[in-house]
């Protein structure tokens, strides 16, 4: 998997440092050559001799007193990827602010290769605004933030801040060098149900959870695509997913129409409201004022708008149906979609908010292809493979 790759494992001072020894072993088993750099506090949690025995090379623990006159630049030039695991709050702060006060931070600062940062700290430290700012800075600088997850922490505490397990970090590192079938593609995904304001408090909405759209964004990103996710719900974290948060159909339409001309593929899975209040109240409507009359007007047809673009992407639409699929087949033909994904939301296990779904793929000529009940994640992966097969055959990227 990683045959011939040079991995610098950077270990800072947290109790999760013990996992770095196993991570080094797993990287070596995957074919990588591993060297290490450790902070002084990292050496308090994990002996440098342990890492020397595992990797066959003594860790760099200081900028001075080394045989190499510039150990940090030598390591940085040698590395194909640097993995900071564990990355404590202090180390994340130094990396985000470009402080080269120790060998680890200096090595990362001198590097031009991908950097994977695996945070590990107590929940309070992870949730502190300063840490959030520093992590956002590292993301903006191109670092891959791997975790953390919720689980057992030092001192018997539990919560977000636990470092990813070594095998999960290994998978991320492997993915950096594994070109997926969508590598180089730009994919636009919409997710969630829109909210159409009645007044500042109330809205017209639907039951969409956004789970299918989120699964599609993750599947495309895992396949190597650069993904823009336009969504009304909480989005998944992935270094190749850029999130555009919206609320109403109008906001989603403006975002999607602005982004679609630059996309190779658009997968519009959002449940967009067909109607909205024509004149939302400026203030809260009150029961004492009597029953209000709400006049509705159509919302923008986002799918049709993308289909009408002069420069349009390969277009995949979704249709939530109840019972027969004639309406979905008509929609696929009428809007000239490349693919339409229909699901019967009344079918057990296939409704809004479920973990599974049973879909039928409909081609532009109206031909249906029913898939078995699968998890939404499995449907997303299968649909990504279908898009690659069909779009590639049609001369796509």
Residue range 326-354, pLDDT digits in tens? 777 777 777 778 999 988 776 776 667 77
pTM, two decimal places: 0.61
What is residue 91's predicted lDDT score, i.e. its pLDDT?
94
6-177: CATH class: alpha beta
97 is catalytic: no
List of the chain residues with pLDDT < 70: 1, 155, 322-324, 346, 349-351, 392-397
**What does the pLDDT read at residue 394?**
45
Q: What's the pLDDT at 358?
A: 86
Comparing C-alpha atoms, which of 223, 236, 215 is closest to residue 387? 223
Q: Where are the domains of the chain?
A: 6-177, 186-393
6-177 and 186-393 agree in CATH topology? yes
Active-site pick, 97, 134, 206, 343: 206
Superfamily of domain 186-393: CoaB-like (3.40.50.10300)
């Amino acid at each position: 998997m990683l045959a011939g790759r040079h991995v610098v494992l950077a270990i800072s001072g947290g109790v999760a440092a013990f996992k770095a020894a196993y991570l080094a072993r797993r990287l070596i088993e995957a074919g990588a050559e591993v060297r290490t750099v450790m902070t002084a506090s990292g050496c308090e949690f994990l002996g440098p001799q342990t890492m020397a025995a595992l990797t066959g090379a003594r860790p760099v623990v200081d900028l001075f007193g080394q045989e190499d006159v510039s150990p940090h630049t030598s390591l940085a030039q040698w590395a194909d990827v640097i993995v900071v695991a564990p990355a404590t709050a202090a180390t994340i702060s130094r990396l985000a602010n470009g402080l080269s006060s120790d060998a680890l931070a200096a090595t990362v600062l001198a590097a031009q290769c991908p950097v994977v940062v695996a945070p590990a700290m107590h929940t309070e430290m992870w949730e502190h605004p300063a840490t959030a700012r520093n992590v956002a800075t590292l993301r903006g600088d191109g670092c891959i933030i791997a975790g953390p997850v919720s689980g057992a922490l030092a001192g018997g505490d539990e919560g977000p801040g636990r470092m990813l397990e070594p095998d999960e970090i290994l998978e991320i590192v492997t993915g950096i060098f594994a070109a997926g079938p969508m590598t180089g593609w730009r994919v636009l995904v919409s997710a969630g149900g829109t909210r159409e304001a009645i007044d500042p408090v109330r809205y017209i909405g639907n039951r969409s959870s956004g789970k299918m759209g989120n699964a599609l964004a993750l599947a495309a990103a895992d396949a190597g695509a650069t993904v823009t996710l336009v969504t009304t719900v909480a989005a998944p974290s992935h270094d190749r997913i850029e999130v555009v948060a919206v609320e109403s159909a109008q906001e989603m339409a403006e975002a999607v129409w602005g982004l679609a001309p630059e996309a190779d593929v658009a997968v519009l899975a959002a449940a967009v409201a067909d109607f909205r209040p024509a004149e939302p109240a400026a203030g809260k409507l009150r029961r004492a004022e009597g029953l209000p009359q709400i006049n509705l007007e159509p919302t923008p047809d986002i799918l049709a708008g993308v289909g009408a673009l002069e420069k349009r992407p390969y277009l995949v639409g979704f249709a939530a149906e109840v019972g027969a699929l004639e309406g979905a087949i008509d929609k696929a033909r009428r809007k000239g979609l490349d693919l339409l994904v229909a699901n019967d939301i009344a079918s057990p296990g296939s409704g809004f908010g479920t973990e599974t779904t049973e879909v039928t793929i409909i081609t532009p000529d109206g031909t249906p292809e029913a898939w078995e009940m699968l998890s939404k994640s499995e449907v997303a992966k299968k649909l990504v493979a279908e898009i690659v097969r069909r779009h590639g055959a049609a001369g796509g990227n």
